[in-house]
Structure 1
């Protein structure tokens, strides 16, 4: 198991945000990830418009995940309409 930081940008709308968070946590659990910490980073401007949206709600997750599950998890996030963008970063120990 490796440690990763996952940053996810959700839409500002409350119902889409809640649905997106639930899907992220369900997908992480389904792929065997252990969520160690969740940090709400608040609403921020996007660097460039994505699907005509200029703001998003950022959330940072610190997780432990088997590297073999990373590709499947990224694919699940790409297919989720309630996620604007996501980024996995491996934490060096």
Structure 2
């Protein structure tokens, strides 16, 4: 099996709870198809670099996946059909880390600096 990182952007008009449940739905789908999931992260509602389908913001999520390419193909197919997902991307990686992603570690650094003040 190969290692992948899957990032998606969901519409801004869904609630954060719905975005987190979308992450859990994807996780169960991967596990049903025979894959394994590692860490999952919900990055929150963030500004987009450019407008996508008239949206300026989106809910971001990340899933680490260990699965066969057929599972990734099915995941991509379902993401294209989903009305809640406006963009998604799956990247093959050499290894997964247990550390928080760069996005979450940046938030933690910002909080620490504010607490020192």
Could you list the runs of 5+ residues in structure 2 that have no partner in the other structure? 96-117
Partner secondary structure for residue 17 of structure 1: helix
Task: Please say which structure displays the higher CA radius of gyration.
Answer: 2
How far did 1:24 drift? 2.0
Q: TM-score, normalised by structure 2?
A: 0.67
For the 8 Å contact 1:20–1:83, the answer to whether it is kept is no
Q: TM-score, normalised by structure 1?
A: 0.82
- Greater fraction helix: 2
**Pairwise CA RMSD:** 1.9
Question: Which of 1 and 2 has higher RCO (CA within 8 Å, sep 6+)?
Answer: 1
In the comparison of the two structures, how many residue pairs are matched? 93
- Greater fraction strand: 1
1:56 and 2:36 matched: no
1:63-89: CA deviation from partner (whole Å, max 9, x where unpaired): 111123222221111001111111101
